[in-house]
Chain A
Amino acid sequence: MVGEAQVRREVEAVYRRDSRRILATLIRLLGDFDLAEEAMHDAFFIAVQRWQRDGIPANPRAWLVSVGRFKAIDALRRSARFDRSQADLIMLLERAADDPGEQALLADDRLRLIFTCCHPALASDAQVPLTLREVCDLTTEQIARAFLQSPSTIAQRIVRAKAKIRDAKIPYQVPELSELPERLESVLRVIYLVFNEGYSASAGEDVTTRELTDEAIRLGRLVAQLLPDAEVHGLLALMLLQASRQRARSTADGELVLLDEQDRSLWDRGQIDEGSQLVRQALRSRDFGPYTVQAAIAALHAEAPSAEATDWDEIIGLYDVLQRHWPSAVVELNRAAALARRDGAQVGLQAVEAILQRGELGDYHLAHAARAELHRQLGNLDQARDAWRQALTLTRQGPERRHIERRLRELG
Chain B
Amino acid sequence: MKYLCLVYCDEALLHSLPDSPEDAECMAYAESIHGSGRMLAAEALKPVQTATTVRVRAGRMSLTDGPFAETKEQLAGFYLVDARDLNEALNIAKGIPAARVGSVEVRPVRELQP
Residues of A within 8 A of B (CB): 120-124, 126, 160, 163-164, 167-171, 173
Contact = CB atoms under 8 A, between A and B. Distances in A.
A129 B87 CA distance: 22
Given A121-B52, A167-B108, A173-B87, 17 more contacts: A120-B62, A121-B65, A121-B86, A122-B65, A123-B66, A124-B65, A160-B49, A163-B49, A163-B50, A164-B65, A167-B50, A168-B107, A168-B108, A169-B86, A169-B108, A171-B85, A171-B87
B52 A168 contact: yes
Interface residues of B, number: 16
Contacts of A164: 49-50, 65
B63 interface: yes
Interface of B: 46, 49-52, 62-63, 65-66, 84-87, 90, 107-108
Given A121-B63, A121-B65, A168 B50 contact: yes
A123 B66 CA distance: 8
Nearest to A163: B49
The residue among B51, B65, B87, B90 with the most chain A CB atoms within 10 A of its own CB is B65
A123 B85 contact: no
Closest CB pairs A-B (n = 10): A171-B85, A123-B65, A120-B63, A121-B52, A168-B50, A167-B50, A169-B85, A170-B86, A168-B86, A168-B108
A127 to B, nearest CB: 9
Nearest to B54: A121
Nearest to B90: A121
A76 B2 CA distance: 44
A124 B65 CA distance: 8
Contacts of B52: 121, 168
Nearest to A166: B50
A163 B108 CA distance: 13
Q: Is the interface of B mostly helix, strand, loop or mixed?
A: mixed
Contacts of A124: 65
A145 to B, nearest CB: 24
A121 to B, nearest CB: 4
Contacts of A121: 52, 63, 65, 86, 90
B101 to A, nearest CB: 21
A120 B108 CA distance: 17
A114 to B, nearest CB: 16
A164 B66 CA distance: 10
Nearest to B65: A123
A242 to B, nearest CB: 32
A312 B106 CA distance: 52
A360 B45 CA distance: 43
Contacts of B86: 121, 168-171
B85 to A, nearest CB: 4
A118 to B, nearest CB: 12
A120 to B, nearest CB: 4
Contacts of A167: 46, 49-50, 108
A120 B63 CA distance: 6
24 contacts: A121-B52, A121-B65, A123-B65, A124-B65, A126-B65, A160-B49, A163-B49, A164-B49, A164-B50, A164-B65, A167-B46, A167-B50, A167-B108, A168-B46, A168-B50, A168-B86, A168-B107, A169-B108, A170-B85, A170-B86, A171-B84, A171-B86, A171-B87, A173-B85
